A and B are shown apart, each in its own frame.
Chain A
Amino acid sequence: MLGIEGLSPETISGTVINLFFENSTRTRTSFEVAAKRLGSDVINMDVATSSVKKGETLLDTAMTLNAMRPDAIVVRHAESGAVNLLSQKVNCTVINAGDGQHEHPTQALLDALTIRRRRGSLQGLLVAICGDIMHSRVARSNIHLLQIMGARVRVVGPPTLMPTDIDRMGVEVHYNMKTGLKDVDIVMMLRLQTERMQGSFVPSISEYFRFFGLDHEKLKIAKPDALVMHPGPMNRGVEIDSEVADDLDRSIIHEQVEMGVAVRMACLDALIGGRRNSIGAAA
């Protein structure tokens, strides 16, 4: 079995399709490396995002791919709920690699794993998720998972980037970094999408960086040993200062990427390998 202990034969002989309706080099590569490391065949499908009839393409593509009997389809789509819709049309495993502003489950899993490796447990930790909460699927998935794992979660950002009633998801809401970062164990920065920087949600990049960008000065507000995370790709000088991003004592951004492959390998093996014997695999 290629010398990988405990790996099921189904995974090794499996076929994984990376179906990305939205560009993502990092997540796609991470899934591809994970699947290949497990011995699966990987097909990358690049689907044009400019198509007017995206919805039709989505279901048509889903049914076409399904007919080829893959073991898993890894899907990213720009619309919330699109992966859910696609999964209703196929009978193989579907893994959500990010849908709109809804969820990015493997990102949350890799974040949790990274934190656990550094801190031993998530129980009782205080995590601040900072920046564009409104448009972030990473924030939503982390809010769910981190709280389940026993951490407390704060969200920090300008009110224009804070979704309505986000406090109903159990988080503390802060509109400035001074109170938001106080006593936190983990500072998780989010990427600010370029199209949201210029005037519509925040006045300018320099104003955003001044008040919400993470530099060493703001990091001092957090616990002395607080760790810095970012799902990538980073906008240096927008949401995070290079000095913080590259500070190996504080930044665990590269470890996140490494854990990403591990978590995706685990997901693929659990879902593909377990397919024909799901009860045994789960137990």
Chain B
Amino acid sequence: MSGNVIRTSPPHAGSTAYINARIVDPVADKEYVGAILISDGKIADFGPNLFASGAPYGIQSVDCGGLHLAPGIVDTRVHTGEPGEEHKETLESAGIAAAVGGITSLVLLPDNDPPFDDASLIEFVARRARQVKLTNMYAYGALTAGLEGKELAEIGLLSEVGAVAFTDADHSIGNAQVMRRALYYAKAFDALIVHVPQEPTLSGGSMTSGEMATRLGLSGSPPLAEVMMVERDIRLVEMTGGRLHLAKISTAESVAVIAAAKARGLRITCDTAAPYFALNDLAVGDYRTFGKLMPPLRAEKDRLAVVAGLKDGTIDAIVSDHRPQDQDSKRVPFAQALPGGIGLETLLPISLELVHNNDLTLPQLFQRLSSTPARLFNLPGGKLAKGAPADLVIFDTSYAWKIDRDELWSKTKNSPFDERPVQGRVMATIVGGRTIYRDDAFATEAAAA
């Protein structure tokens, strides 16, 4: 159950063939046994018939032994502690965790200290990502100055230096006028706005409202705090024509309202995070602070609605919502604990539960994990296409193991999935043709055919 993160290998040059793989092509919505040829860090060719009789001489080839191969995961919701709280997570430790998790591109939330409301911070992240040399890293720009929800951040200038979308991270924009102007203004740059819809005046509780909160004596955030904000945002998108992506949808009502808005042809998209389709509020029983998330884990009926929303496509994408918290933030009474859970390394195995439970096919899962988020955020990768970056994940869907927080690579261990038995494991992660992670169980030093 261990593997190697590889950072020393040179940029990919020449050609490598990955043969005998079960290829998952989310864009074509297909799964087949075949091969993929990588040249100079890009996908040169792929298909069921490629190298059907073995790779030609002169090309290094890797026999995948029937394992699955898919476009690497594009995780659009990752928080690290760099800069500001490096003891929780650095870009390097997050890069390692992402590599182990099969994530080939990630987008960093802007709620650091200082927040990413200045062009220099976006440039800093890009420079550090080049040094870390693992997963591709992009960054959000702040939507409002200081993430205070009052004045617009420099959306144009931040776009110019590479901010891929704009958000105030987990801070909801309570002021409708600010949100309206943000949606209008961002149109000038065709910028995507990402919003966690939670009515701030109602969502201050420690967990979701209901029987469990009542029994535990904890203050509750009602699920309605979410759908109220979803409905407001839908009206503002109608008014402004802005590009809005709602993040971390967690309630049945929200899924229904978004489905209706999409049916009317409104340009609105959304995601959910792995905890919201895999856990419910029972996970915080016994005051388990690792289960304290924002928004809070909801009731079972909400979880089922999120699964259904993923199934019918109402929910476009899945994110990890990786948020490291140290012991000092979590080993305190529940109401005082900071929300958030780590998720980079567990995203694929948890998401594969949707496949094992027959809710999604593998191509559908990788639409949610890879191709759709890449398209929405306008990122390279996330798909199999000739000329696309060779960002790939090789994984074993049948590998059974138990998540153990002490074996995770993240600097902090606050996984809401600790001790959960899962089925499926990343065997190798390839970014730009370069293998950045390889599990010990996956021997890639196959001889050239």
A: residues with CB less than 8 A from B are 54-56, 58-59, 77, 79-82, 84-85, 99-103, 137, 140, 163-166, 168-169
Contact = CB atoms under 8 A, between A and B. Distances in A.
B333 A164 contact: no
Contact of B333 (A81, A137, A163, A166): A81
B215 to A, nearest CB: 7
A164 B215 contact: no
A169 B335 contact: no
A79 B336 contact: yes
A132 to B, nearest CB: 13
B286 interface: yes
B294 to A, nearest CB: 18
Contacts, number: 76
A82 B333 contact: yes
Given A79-B336, A84-B286, A164-B222, A55 B331 contact: yes
A226 to B, nearest CB: 27
A58 B219 CA distance: 21
A166 B216 CA distance: 11
A79 B289 CA distance: 13
Contacts of B215: 140, 169
Interface residues of B, number: 22
Contact of B217 (A59, A85, A100, A168): A100
List of 8 A-B pairs having minimum Cβ-Cβ separation, nearest first: A55-B332, A102-B217, A81-B287, A79-B333, A101-B217, A80-B217, A163-B214, A82-B333
Interface stretch (B5-13, B205-213, B232-240, B403-411): B205-213
Nearest to B205: A164
Nearest to A140: B217
A56 B211 CA distance: 29
B334 A80 contact: yes
10 contacts: A54-B332, A55-B331, A56-B328, A80-B216, A85-B333, A100-B335, A101-B218, A164-B209, A164-B211, A165-B210
Contacts of B220: 163-164
Interface of B: 209-211, 213-220, 222, 286-287, 328, 331-337
Contacts of B332: 54-56, 58-59, 85
A166 B328 contact: no
A55 B214 contact: no
Given A55-B333, A81-B333, A164 B210 contact: yes
Contact of B287 (A84, A140, A169): A84
A169 to B, nearest CB: 7
Given A80-B287, A84-B286, A84-B287, A58 B213 contact: no
Contacts of B210: 164-165
B212 to A, nearest CB: 9
A80 B333 contact: yes
Given A80-B287, A100-B218, A100-B335, 7 more contacts: A58-B333, A59-B332, A80-B218, A84-B286, A85-B287, A85-B332, A102-B216
B331 A85 contact: yes
A194 to B, nearest CB: 19
Contacts of A82: 333
A79 B216 CA distance: 11
Contacts of A163: 213-214, 220
Contacts of A59: 331-332
Nearest to A99: B217
Nearest to A165: B211
Contacts of A80: 216-218, 287, 333-335
Contacts of A54: 332-333, 336
A81 B216 CA distance: 8
Contacts of B211: 164-165, 168-169
B217 A165 contact: no
A96 to B, nearest CB: 12
A244 B396 CA distance: 72
A168 B209 CA distance: 13
